[in-house]
Amino acid sequence: MSRLREHLSFARVYSTILITSGLVFVVLVSIFLSFSISEVITLTILAAFFIIAALYYIGEKRLKEINQLKTIIDSIRNNRYKSADEIKLSKRLIELEGDIKLMFMRTQNDIANLKKLEHVRTEFLGNVSHELRTPIFAIQGYLETLLNGAINDDEVNINFLSKANLHTIRLNNLLNDLIDISMIESGQMRMSFRYFKVKDFLENMANEMRPLADNKNLEIAVHPIRGKLELFGDKDRLRQVITNLLSNAIKYTDEGKVEIIVQEQSKTAKIIIKDSGLGLAENDRERVFERFYRVDKNRSKAAGGTGLGLAIVKHIIEAHNSRVEVESTPNVGSEFSFVLKK
């Protein structure tokens, strides 16, 4: 009896329409065939039986379908499905099955992305703490040694102080890079795009970096650039890009030269920073734009690097709707380039 009630209650939405149609049927048939009262009563009872049987059948079907849906929702909630193919509904619900599968895949995707983000965040925090700890420990070490008496030792005091000073500069650089990265990634970095003269810009940059190159006996060669060539971009941010690329080219080159080349096309121009240095193996080439990635940690660290330079370069160039390309051969040299609009 309770089963009957349950099934009927699941078919409730259909009861009004079935009862109304049944009544209309009984009335019309009775009028057409001029039924007597007893015939009308018999027909009504028959129709009622039919309606109850139909409602029972519909209710049973709906109950089965709703139970299937409940099981699926329950399984999704309890992470029981490995893939969307395990989600199966009866033939009549095939469209719904497709929608549920889509929803399942989207949720799986979102979860995977969240996990990846969480991993990146943890890794980033780990890297930041590590990078901060190194200079802080060094500064602490020098200061303690000085306080413990080395301050009076004229042979080391200035040396220790200037080393501590170098580490504070490193800390400052690291913090500036971190602020840049977080501003860019949170979309807070305001860009100001204008046309600017490329020749003056790049020649000035080469002059600024020349002392660094001179220290390593490297030449910085600027290939001829058309005096009137103007490109569209954020000059201050591009200054940061070129500084990073040139300082890398100098840092990771032992002999030869660093070249600045501008290749003009009809609507764009490509800026290339080329060196004759260490070069990059293929798997490093793909990874150098990752935050904190350094091919040779010791070498980069000795040069004061934290591995954030190229990550910032990539972001800034992408904000110009462009991409940084890298071509490189180990022990021959590297070429970093990007295209800007004329």
Ligand X SMILES: Nc1ncnc2c1ncn2[C@@H]1O[C@H](COP(=O)(O)OP(=O)(O)OP(=O)(O)O)[C@@H](O)[C@H]1O
Residue choice 334, 337, 339, 340 for contact with ligand X (CB under 6 A)? 334
Contact call for residue 248 and Mg ion (CB under 5 A): yes
Binding residue count for Mg ion, defined by CB under 5 A: 2
Distance of CA 63 to the CA centre of its chain: 44
296 binds, among Mg ion, ligand X, none (CB under 5 to 8 A by kind): ligand X
**Please, which of residues 36-75 interact with ligand X by CB under 6 A?**
none
Query: From the CB of 327, what's the least distance to ligand X, in Å?
Result: 11
* Minimum CB distance to ligand X smaller for 135 or for 279: 279
Q: Measure the CA–CA gap between 256 and 217, rounded to whole angstroms.
A: 8
* H or E, element range at 41: helix 37-77
Interactions with ligand X, residue window 198-227 (CB under 6 A):
none
Q: Looking at beta carbons only, is 306 or 322 nearer to ligand X? A: 306
| DSSP assignment letter at 190 | -
> How far apart are CB 194 and ligand X at their closest, in Å?
26
Number of residues that bind ligand X (CB under 6 A): 24
Considering only 206, 269, 271, 308, the residue that binds ligand X (CB under 6 A) is 308
Q: Which is nearer to ligand X, 97 or 275 (CB)?
A: 275
Retrieve residue 198's tokens. 């490329």
Q: How does DSSP classify residue 331? A: T
Whether the Cβ atoms of residue 178 and residue 128 lie closer than 8 Å to each other: yes
Q: Find tokens 């500064």 and name the residue.
A: 139
Asked if 300 is part of the footprint of ligand X (rule: CB under 6 A), the reply reads yes
**Cα(190)–Cα(69) distance, integer angstroms:** 49
Q: Which is nearer to ligand X, 89 or 288 (CB)?
A: 288
Q: How far apart are the first and last CA of the chain?
A: 83
- In sign, the C-alpha dihedral spanning 147, 150, 154, 155 is negative
Q: Quick check: 140 and 125 in contact, CB under 8 A?
A: no
Q: Which positions from 259 through 298 interact with ligand X, judged by CB under 6 A?
A: 275, 277-280, 288, 293-296
Give the rounded distance of the alpha carbon of 39 from its chain centre: 76
Residues 154-183 that bind ligand X (CB under 6 A): 177
The helix-helix angle for 12-32 and 2-10 (nearest 10°) equals: 90
Q: List the alpha helices (DSSP H) in the chain.
A: 2-10, 12-32, 37-77, 94-147, 157-185, 198-215, 235-251, 282-287, 297-302, 309-319
**Residue 280 interacting entry, from ligand X, Mg ion, none, C-beta within 5 to 8 Å by type:** ligand X
Partner that binds at residue 307, options ligand X, Mg ion, none, CB closer than 5 to 8 Å by kind: ligand X
Closest CB 128 distance from Mg ion, rounded Å: 17
The residue with its CB nearest to Mg ion is 309
The 3-state DSSP composition of the chain as helix, strand, coil percent (nearest 5) reads 65, 10, 25
In angstroms, rounded to a whole number, what is the distance separating the alpha carbons of residues 6 and 114?
42
Instruction: Give the shortest CB-233-to-ligand X separation in angstroms.
Output: 20
Residue 337 interacting with ligand X (CB under 6 A): no
Neighbours of 174 (CB within 10 A): 19
Three-class DSSP category at 303? coil
β-partners of residue 264 are 269
Instruction: Give the binding range for Mg ion (CB under 5 A) out of 125-133, 208-216, 307-315, 318-326.
Output: 307-315
Nearest approach, Cβ of residue 282 and ligand X (Å): 13
Q: At closest approach, how far in Å is the CB of 218 from Mg ion? A: 16
Residues between 18 and 77 that touch Mg ion (CB under 5 A)? none
Give the residues lining the site for ligand X (CB under 6 A): 177, 244, 248-249, 252, 275, 277-280, 288, 293-296, 300, 305-311, 334
Give the residues lining the site for Mg ion (CB under 5 A): 248, 309
